[in-house]
């Protein structure tokens, strides 16, 4: 089934000028970038986005990181896009990520791990709505 998922190219990757290289891996995997914008996340946006992790010990560090430099927010379209993009990203910890995945190729640590991808179709819809309106998505 054709789905939309939400992706973020995180500050560690934009800082190292890796946006194009990450996008090449996404496109080579058969996912289409149907919306994309480079933004500086506010603290309020980052806190809302990662609200599910607000009780975790790394929450403050995570919000500091996500607001430390620009990010690229994206909507990706494709067959089974939510699960497919999770595969393409690789494990949260790059040391455990499979060869060829974005995190294996580019991530620096479990915190600074280059990309975000939605973990369910329901979350994808909520996350897309936080950053894009329907008009922004051109399939
Ligand atoms: P994301 O939600 O960003 O796609 P994920 O679903 O693979 O990543 P989560 O468990 O949802 O992983 O964690 C969200 C983010 O919080 C991670 O991507 C990472 O940036 C950060 N994070 C997770 N665990 C740790 C940790 N132990 N120490 C520091 N940061 C962490
Ligand atoms: Mg997650």
Question: What pLDDT is recorded for position 104?
Answer: 98
Ligand 1 environment, Cβ below 6 A: 53, 58, 61-62, 92, 110-111, 113, 116-117, 119
Of 89, 117, 118, 126, which Cα lies nearest the Cα of 104?
A: 89
Q: Ligand 2: distance of its center to the CA of 106 in Å?
A: 18
Question: What pLDDT is recorded for position 124?
Answer: 98
Question: What pLDDT is recorded for position 122?
Answer: 98
The count of C-alpha atoms lying within 13 angstroms of the C-alpha of 112, restricted to the half-sphere facing its C-beta, is 14
The tokens for 55 are 């009780």
Q: Ligand 2: distance of its center to the CA of 119 in Å?
A: 6
Q: Are 62 and 50 in contact (CB under 8 A)?
A: yes
The tokens for 10 are 């995180």
User: Which residue in 4, 10, 103, 116 is the catalytic one?
Assistant: 116
Residues 6+ apart with CB under 8 A from 86: 117, 119
Task: Note the pLDDT tens digit of each residue in 79-107.
Answer: 999 999 999 999 999 999 999 999 999 99
Average pLDDT, the chain: 98
Instruction: For 81-117, give one letter per residue: b (16+ CB within 10 A) or e.
Output: bbbbbbebbbbeebeebeeebbbbbbbeeeebbbbbb
Question: What pLDDT is recorded for position 72?
Answer: 99
Per the DSSP assignment, residues forming a β-bridge with 75 are 6, 35
| DSSP label of 68 | S
Residue 45 phi, psi (nearest 5): -65, -45
Residue 60 phi, psi (nearest 5): -60, -45
pLDDT grade for 64, boundaries at 50, 70 and 90: very high
């Amino acid at each position: 089934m054709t789905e939309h998922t939400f992706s973020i190219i995180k500050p560690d990757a934009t800082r190292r000028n890796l946006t194009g290289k990450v996008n090449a891996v996404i496109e080579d995997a058969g996912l289409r970038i149907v919306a994309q914008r480079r933004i500086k996340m506010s603290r309020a946006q980052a806190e809302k986005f990662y609200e599910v992790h607000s009780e975790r010990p790394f929450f403050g560090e995570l919000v500091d990181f996500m607001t430390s430099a620009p990010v690229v927010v994206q909507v990706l379209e494709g067959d089974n896009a939510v699960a497919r993009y999770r595969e393409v990203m690789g494990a949260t910890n790059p040391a455990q990520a499979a060869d060829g995945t974005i995190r294996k190729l580019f991530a620096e640590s479990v915190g600074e791990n280059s990309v975000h991808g939605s973990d369910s179709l329901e979350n994808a819809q909520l996350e897309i709505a936080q950053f894009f309106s329907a008009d922004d998505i051109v399939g």
